[in-house]
Structure 1
Amino acid sequence: MFNPSQADVRRFFCTVYTKGLGDEPMEAIETLAHQWIAEHPEHHPELSDLDDALARVGEPAQEGQENPFLHLSMHLSISEQCSIDQPPGIRQAVELLTARRGDLHAAHHEVMECLGRMLWESQRAGRPPDGQAYIDHVRQRATQD
């Protein structure tokens, strides 16, 4: 999945959720996705109905509700970034933040804010994402109380 559509992403996460319920074999990326899905039981209802998830492609999230597919995709993206250390230094920055918070999941949620900020600034300015600013922002969080 290098350029998945919204429907592809929803299909992927719903399929992983279903495989997890049936204790079916999974590919490595599915296993990682399943671990993040397990951390978010509040999203299980949306993941349990593929037809409804596909019918809602393009709909904005309800007031005060996050998009579970975007949220889980960000977890996977951060996990992948750390596994290949791209942008260079992200692995160490996330490890520092995780050590500071004492919880990988909580650290990921903070990293998501940094990632979202970097992407927003990139889109707003019409320039490529600034990986160094992203890493610096994660490191700043790792040194704050």
Structure 2
Amino acid sequence: MFTPSQADVRRFFCGAFDKGRRGLPLEPLETLAYEWMLRHPEYHAELADLDAALRAMTTVDPARDNPFLHLSMHLSISEQCSIDQPPGIRQAVELLAARRGSLHDAHHEVMDCLGRMLWESQVHGRPPDGQAYLAEVRRRATAD
């Protein structure tokens, strides 16, 4: 299993952003990442400066989203949907997107569910509960 470091993640996103802006060919994962980056212009300055992004790894600004974590979550949710893992996530995200009128907005809601699942896993020292995660996404997708 590939486990990239924080620096690797920042290099990937900054590199894909640079290639995309210059119109260079992108690998499939870079293409997907670049599409999400285009939907987040508020992150472009950080994505455009790899050296600053690497220096910023040691600082945390609680008032600001981490663009690299945020974009990584978009990729993770996209991958989960592409392989339907956990089973049913694709349908739940599609239903949520239809209800919200936007895949992007749906992803942001799913991020809340994904983040909660990961947090609970860490706090309680147990594996992530994919069924609880899926149930929460489904609840949001079907709630009135």
Same fold (TM over 0.5): yes
Q: Distance in 1 between matches of 2:125 and 2:81?
A: 26
Residue 2 of structure 1 deviates from its aligned partner by: 2.0
Q: Please tell me the root mean square deviation across aligned C-alpha atoms, in Å.
A: 1.1
SS at the partner of 1:12? helix
Q: What CA deviation, in whole Å up to 9, does each residue of 1:47-90 have, x standing for no partner?
A: 01000101111321x23200000000000000000000111111
State, as a whole percentage, how many aligned pairs show the same letter: 70
**What corresponds to 1:17 in structure 2?**
17
Q: Distance in 2 between matches of 1:144 and 1:3?
A: 36
Q: Which amino acid aligns with 1:137?
A: E
Q: Distance in 2 between matches of 1:91 and 1:132?
A: 13
**What corresponds to 2:124 in structure 1?**
125
Would you say 1:89 and 2:54 are equivalent positions? no
Structure 2: gaps spanning 5 or more residues? none
**What corresponds to 1:49 in structure 2?**
49
Structure 1: gaps spanning 5 or more residues? none
SS at the partner of 1:57? helix
Residue 4 of structure 1 deviates from its aligned partner by: 0.4
Q: TM-score, normalised by structure 1?
A: 0.96
**What corresponds to 1:76 in structure 2?**
75
**What corresponds to 2:107 in structure 1?**
108
Q: Distance in 2 between matches of 1:96 and 1:57?
A: 36
Residue 143 of structure 1 deviates from its aligned partner by: 1.6
SS at the partner of 1:55? helix
Once superposed, which parts of structure 1, at least 4 consecutive aligned residues long, lie more than 4 Å away?
none
SS at the partner of 2:57? coil
Q: TM-score, normalised by structure 2?
A: 0.97
Q: Distance in 2 between matches of 1:51 and 1:144?
A: 44
SS at the partner of 1:24? coil
**What corresponds to 1:59 in structure 2?**
59
